[in-house]
């Protein structure tokens, strides 16, 4: 299952994503949930610092820009909830799909904004370019950046392995 949230600013979106990751890590999950699936396995560093605890949520951000065309806001006829449709929304969806559980990913514009404005974000973090993601149906390739909250750096090693394997798969498919 997946869901999307819309924010007015990159700052608000990233602060929310960081809060989600930190709260999931510190939540008191029922013991029956641990190790139920690979995505609920508790992981610790060699120094016994908790890296993952139960549920892992993927977070992805993409800012809507005029260069990506109109972002159409509508009301869903059945639920009454606001929906968005457009290239920016499709890209956000794709970025969410390439994220691993427990990872925060962003497109280039968001990463650039964060690099310049990091002091304005409530929690410390690091931004790293992890690769490019082709979206064949749109005929575009999007830069993917990882946002790692301070204190969760040990997660990067796991995400880097996953991303490297994924890139090898893409290269083989393109040959």
CA distance 52 to 40: 8
CA distance 135 to 142: 7
User: Would residue 4 count as lying in a domain?
Assistant: no
User: Would residue 152 count as lying in a domain?
Assistant: yes
**pLDDT averaged over every residue in the chain:** 87
Q: Which residue has the tokens 């992890």?
A: 130
Q: What is the 3-state secondary structure (H, E, C) of the chain?
A: CCCCCCCCCHHHHHHHHHHHHHHHHHCCCCHHHCCCCHHHCCEECCCCCEEECCCCCCEEECCCCHHHCCCEEEECCCCCCEEEECHHHHHHHHHHHHCCCCCEEEEHHHHHHHHHHHHHCCCCEEEEEEEEEEEHHHCEEEEEEEEEECCCCCHHHHHHHHHHHHHHHHHHHHC
User: Would residue 73 count as lying in a domain?
Assistant: no
User: Would residue 71 count as lying in a domain?
Assistant: no
Task: With a cut of 80, say whether residue 36 has pLDDT above it.
Answer: yes
User: Would residue 2 count as lying in a domain?
Assistant: no
Range 71-80 average pLDDT: 92
Nearest to 152 by CA among 128, 126, 113: 126
pLDDT score at 172: 46
Task: With a cut of 70, say whether residue 31 has pLDDT above it.
Answer: yes
Q: pLDDT, tens digit, for every residue of 6-29? A: 888 999 999 999 999 999 988 888
Q: Which residue has the tokens 């968005």?
A: 84
User: Would residue 82 count as lying in a domain?
Assistant: no
Task: With a cut of 50, say whether residue 71 has pLDDT above it.
Answer: yes
User: Would residue 149 count as lying in a domain?
Assistant: yes
Lowest pLDDT segment from 39-43, 116-120, 128-132: 39-43
- Total domains in the chain come to 1
Q: Which residue has the tokens 């819309």?
A: 6
Task: With a cut of 50, say whether residue 147 has pLDDT above it.
Answer: yes
Task: With a cut of 70, say whether residue 167 has pLDDT above it.
Answer: no
Both tokens of residue 169? 């798969």
Which structural domain range is residue 148 located in? 10-65+91-174
pTM for this model (two decimals): 0.85
User: Would residue 77 count as lying in a domain?
Assistant: no
């Amino acid at each position: 299952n997946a869901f999307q949230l819309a924010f007015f600013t990159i700052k608000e979106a990233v602060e929310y994503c960081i809060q989600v990751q930190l709260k999931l890590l510190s939540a008191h999950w029922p013991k029956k949930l641990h190790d139920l699936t690979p995505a609920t396995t508790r992981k610790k560093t060699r120094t016994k610092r908790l890296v993952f605890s139960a549920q892992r949520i993927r977070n992805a951000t993409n800012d809507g820009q005029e260069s990506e065309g109109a972002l159409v806001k509508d009301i869903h006829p059945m639920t009454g909830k606001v929906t968005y449709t457009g290239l920016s929304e499709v890209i956000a969806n794709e970025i969410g799909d390439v994220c691993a559980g427990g990872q925060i990913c962003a497109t280039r514009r968001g990463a650039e904004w964060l690099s310049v404005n990091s002091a304005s974000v409530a929690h410390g973090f690091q931004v790293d370019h992890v690769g490019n993601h082709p979206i064949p149906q749109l005929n575009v390739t999007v830069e993917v950046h990882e946002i790692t909250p301070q204190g969760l750096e040990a997660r990067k090693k796991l995400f880097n392995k996953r991303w490297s394997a994924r890139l090898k798969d893409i290269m083989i498919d393109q040959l």
